[in-house]
Amino acid sequence: MSAAAIERVGVVGGGQMGSGIAEVSARAGCDVVIVEVSAEAAEAARARIEKSIRRGVDRGKITAEDADATLGRVRATSDMTDLADRQLVVEAVVERKDAKLDVIRRLAEIVEDPDAILASNTSSIPIVELGAAVGSRSSNVLGLHFFNPVPVLSLVEIIPSLLTKDDVTERARTFVVDTLRKDPIRAPDRAGFTVNALLIPYLLSAIRMLEQGLASAKDIDEGMVKGCAHPMGPLALSDLIGLDTVLGVAETLYDEQREQLFAPPALLQRLVAAGRLGRKTGNGLYDYD
């Protein structure tokens, strides 16, 4: 098998993003191992993937036979060493630099294939900082930033760092295009990359407008949906992304750029401190029943 033929994929983290990446990889025919922090969390990740795939069956987007075959290619575990034989591993843990550095370092020790790609689904953390943490394997580290919901949205940002080898970038692009059938863009290795460097200031501006009492949440969102043809308003989108993730990306952007447009509003910080993180917790900028 050539180094470019990626068929064995690992995913670390079984939340919304990680389970989505695992699902699309399995649907594309890859053998997938998804790792979580405990057996219970691994079971929950597997259940999340199965629920999504069965929803696709109900909507006529996948046959029951294909669904069963896809699920047969997914194994959930709490043992990181089960990733030893993977050709590509994507970390999709919480958007904190310390957590991601820990995962990348462990993967560099565990994954046996010297050509294996170690990728991060980070929304904002510079890839060079992750690559530099693994010494001789730094040339195999890059960013593969998927967008939520992963089974629906086609975009993937490919982010090589100054340390990433050209052939690693090309193999990642081939996997995204030919295997996953998704649409890549090459993004610069700067905080926020391309999409979030544009998106986050927009979301923060909407939160500030609400915080200052200049407009209601409903009017802000309806204005952008009905006036600018956005599929979703900025406040609803923030809740979908997760307010903790929005805050984490904003903090990373502000730390690197020191521009006021990236500074997190107090309202966002308070909501996250209160555990109101958006749709995943049932409340955020909106309440969800």
**Residue positions annotated with a catalytic role:** 123, 145, 157, 196
CA distance 3 to 171: 8
Three-state helix/strand/coil letters over the chain: CCCCCCCEEEEECCCHHHHHHHHHHHHCCCEEEEECCCHHHHHHHHHHHHHHHHHHHHCCCCCHHHHHHHHHCEEEECCHHHHCCCCEEEECCCCCHHHHHHHHHHHHHHCCCCCCEEEECCCCCCHHHHHHHHHHHHHHEEEEEECCCCCCCCEEEEEECCCCCHHHHHHHHHHHHHHCCCEEEECCCCCCCCHHHHHHHHHHHHHHHHHCCCCCHHHHHHHHHHHHCCCCCHHHHHHHHCHHHHHHHHHHHHHHHCCHHHCCCHHHHHHHHCCCCEHHHCECCCECC
